[in-house]
Amino acid sequence: MKKDILYLPVEQVVMAIVPSDGNDLWQVYLINRNKNNLETILVTSKGYNGDQKTSLLRHAIPHLEAGSLALIESISPDVFHFINEFWISFYIGAQIYDKKYIYLPSSINASHLSYIEELKLKGVLHL
C-alpha cells in the first residue's frame, strides 16, 4: 500500500540550468553529489503559466555514479517566464526517492548565476 512506502528526503542530488555557448538554448543537468550511486532514474519536466503549458517530457537514466552528472535536456529561454518543474525519482539500493524541483517564472536568468564546481560553469542551481 502507498501508506507503507517509506519516503526519505533527497539529499545531495541537485539540478542545474546552465547557458550554452554559441546558441540560445540552456542545458539542464542532474548532479549527484551523493556518496551513493543512483539507479533507475526517471525525470519528467514541464512548464506551465496559467492556461499555457509545454509538453510533458520524460527521460530515463539507468545509472548515475556518485559524484557525477547527467545532461537531462535543453531548455529555451522562451519558457523562462513559465513555472518550470522537474520531478525525479530514483533508487539507492532498494529504497526509492523522489523530489520535485520548481523554477519560478524568471528565476532562470543571468542575475541568478552562480559557479557550479562539477560543471566548471556558471548556472542556476536548485538544491
Q: Which tens digits make up the pLDDT trace of 19-75?
A: 987 778 999 999 999 999 999 999 999 999 999 999 999 999 999 999 999 999 999
> Could you tell me if residue 13 is inside a domain?
no
Residue 7, domain member (yes or no): no
User: What CATH number is given to the structural domain containing 33?
Assistant: 2.60.40
Q: Is residue 4 part of a domain?
A: no
Would you state the pLDDT for residue 8?
Answer: 83
Given a cut of 80, is residue 91 above it in pLDDT?
yes
Distance CA 90, CA 65 (A): 12
Residue 5 domain flag: no
Domain count, the chain: 1
Say whether 112 sits in a helix, a strand or coil: helix
Q: Three cell numbers at 29?
A: 543537468
Whether 2 has a pLDDT exceeding 90, the answer reads no
Using DSSP's 3-state secondary structure scheme, residue 4 falls into helix
Residue 35: CB atoms within 10 A of its CB come to: 10
- Does 103 reside within a domain? yes
Structural domain contains residue 73: yes
Mean pLDDT, all residues of the chain: 93
8, part of any domain: no
* Alpha-carbon span 69 to 106, nearest angstrom: 25
Domain assignment of residue 3, yes or no: no
Q: Report how far apart, in Å, the C-alpha atoms of 32 and of each of 12, 45, 52, 54, 95 are.
A: 6, 18, 32, 27, 16
What is the per-residue pLDDT for 1?
60
Take residue 36 and report the three cell numbers written for it. Answer: 551513493
Range of the domain at 53: 19-126
